[in-house]
A and B are shown apart, each in its own frame.
Chain A
Amino acid sequence: MFQRTLALVHRRALCLFALSVLGALSLTPLLAAPNAGAQNDNAALDALRAEVPEGDPGKFDLTEASEEFDRLVALYDQATTGVSDFGDGSELTGPCGGWAYSYDSNGDPPIDILDGGTAFTAGNPFRVDVRGLVQYYGFAPENGDGPRNHTWFVKTSGISLDKGGDPNTNLKNRNAGIVDLANDLPVKFSAKVRVEGEMMSDNLATCRGQGHVDFVGNGLTDPVGLAGLALLAGGLFGLLFNARPAITYKS
């Protein structure tokens, strides 16, 4: 059953996506240890990878998603020990967490979350196909009442991407779902972005996260890339043929 609980994720595609990213940030420490090892020499890490469904990602209900989170935590504990530094630019603090799997337009295999390296950092961002799906699960907190009268925002480079809030009178504390970027993103593009966000409420400590996301598109052949090429060509043409100094005659 696909339930909407946290009310964190409800307004627009950008909001949905950004919050799923925030939720996934908490998986970063689960999967991001620098000493996690190579793909072929760590059985526990292989078991972690086996947790990620391939093909049609389907839908998790909240119970399944929560159990998935617990399995990931347990497997991560086997795969890594004593990790305190998860790399540059990746952080999550507060009583929230979750996981996210990113799929391309074919859905098979997932294009990111388990790669054995430090995740969500500038050097190893979370890869998201702008024509694909992101499957996510998030909680705040894992046990107990959810955030009452919460507000949240997501921004990049100090510029707000989205913000919102909800009284959440039922005190729901978790949500799971799928963000369909193919349908929800009106313009396809490629870019690496540093995203940060925060959620405050009356009854919980502030949940704050940041991380790097790599939007995987068709590069310069996407509409944004073509527009950039047109601007570049136009500017170059103008500089060469209209702004160049000229020798003139003066009597």
Chain B
Amino acid sequence: MTDQMKETYPLRGILWGIMFGLGLMVVAIVAKVIALSLVSALAVLILGIAIGTTWSMFGPARPPKSGNDGGPPA
């Protein structure tokens, strides 16, 4: 018997969140949404990490793959 379960990837969320946060930080500074300062830059970076982590934990789950390579075991 097989059950469906939701698998989360918080570490991936953190890592991609760092990249997302860095991009958000640079874009926000260059677009002058925030001033270039350590505090505001770190705040945006942390926001990006928080978004990534939250998304990886509570985002809508991908449906299971179907077919030969991804279906439930027989």
Contacts and interface: CB of A to CB of B under 8 A. Distances in A.
Contacts of A251: 1-3, 73
Interface residues of B, number: 49
Contact of B55 (A191, A220, A244): A244
A234 interface: yes
A245 B6 contact: yes
B54 to A, nearest CB: 10
Interface string A224-243: 11011111111110110011
Interface string A160-197: 00000000000000000000000000000111111000
Contact of A189 (B30, B51, B73): B30
A214 to B, nearest CB: 7
Contacts of A236: 20, 23
Which of B13, B27, B39 counts the most A-chain CB atoms under 10 A from its CB? B27
Contacts of A194: 35, 37
Contacts, number: 156
Interface of A: 122, 156-159, 189-194, 212, 214, 217, 219-220, 222, 224-225, 227-236, 238-239, 242-251
B23 A232 contact: yes
The prevalent SS among residues of A at the interface is mixed
8 contacts: A225-B30, A228-B27, A243-B15, A243-B16, A243-B59, A244-B59, A245-B61, A251-B2
A235 B21 contact: yes
Given A245-B9, A245-B59, A249-B64, A232 B32 contact: no
